[in-house]
Amino acid sequence: QMWLYGLCLVGGGLSLLYALSRWLIPALAQYNGSLALLWNDTILERALDLLTRSSRPQRMLAHVKRHAARGDPQSVIDAIDYFCRHKEWAMNVGDEKGTILDSVVCEVSPGAVLELGTYCGYSTMRIARLLAPGARLITLEFNPANAAVARQVIAWAGLEHKVQLVEGSSGDLIPQMREKFGIDSFDLVFLDHWKDWYLPDTRLMEELGLLHKGSVLLADNVICPGAPEYLAYVRSSPRYDSRYFKSHLEYTYVEDGLEKSVFPGASAGSRP
Cα–Cα–Cα angle for 194, 156, 168, rounded to 5 degrees: 30
Positions marked active-site? 192, 195, 220-221, 250
The 136-141 sheet, strands edge to edge:
163-167, 136-141, 112-116, 186-191, 211-219, 255-263, 241-248
Contacts 24+ apart (CB under 8 A), 85-90: 85/251, 87/59, 87/63, 88/40, 88/44, 88/45, 88/48, 88/56, 88/59, 88/60, 89/36, 89/40, 89/41, 89/44, 89/250, 89/251, 89/252, 90/40, 90/56, 90/60, 90/119, 90/120, 90/250
Burial of 186 (0-12, 13-18, 19+ CB in 10 A): buried
